[in-house]
Amino acid sequence: MPNNKLLIVDDEEFILSQFKSYLERKGYLVFTATKGEEGLNLLKQNNPDLMLLDLHLKEGIQGIDVLKQSLEFKPDLKVAIYSGFGNDNETIDSCLKLGAKLVLPKPINLKTLKEELDKLREG
């Protein structure tokens, strides 16, 4: 049975706070990181089944590198990527080829986010 542990990596603290608050009320155990390196450490410490990853991080390693390293460490991790640059088909294709399971637009409303994460978790 899948667990409800979710790691969210996004450099915008307001978004992290909003997502964490909403998703915890809906039954997820949420870990958050504002930098890629921090996200990788939390992945190793907490062993989540799901990751929501912003592709465009301001500092440190970028989302696509976090994706690669996360899946090297935990190949069965289900990763949803999201970005405000929805037209960047080349990057999105690269992420899907690397193993991301889902691509979401940014911004995304909270109800839709939860529905998509539920499907990903169950699938």
Total number of domains constituting the chain: 1
Which pair of tokens denotes residue 39? 């996200």
d(CA 89, CA 17): 28
d(CA 34, CA 17): 11
Report the candidate in 122, 123, 104 with the shortest Cα–Cα distance to residue 19: 104
pLDDT digits (tens, 9 = 90+) for 67-105: 999 999 999 999 999 887 656 678 788 889 999 999 898
pLDDT digits (tens, 9 = 90+) for 7-32: 999 999 999 999 999 999 999 999 99
What CATH number did the domain enclosing 17 receive? 3.40.50.2300
Which pair of tokens denotes residue 72? 């090297």
How many CB atoms within 10 Å of residue 87? 9
pLDDT of residue 2: 53
SS3 label, residue 31: strand
Domain hosting residue 16, numbered range: 5-122
Which has the minimum average pLDDT: 38-42, 56-60, 82-86? 82-86
- Span 53-73, mean pLDDT? 93
Report the candidate in 78, 82, 92, 77 with the shortest Cα–Cα distance to residue 112: 82
Torsion-angle region of residue 60: left (phi > 0), alpha (psi -120 to 50) or beta?
left
Task: Report pTM.
Answer: 0.93
pLDDT of residue 94: 86
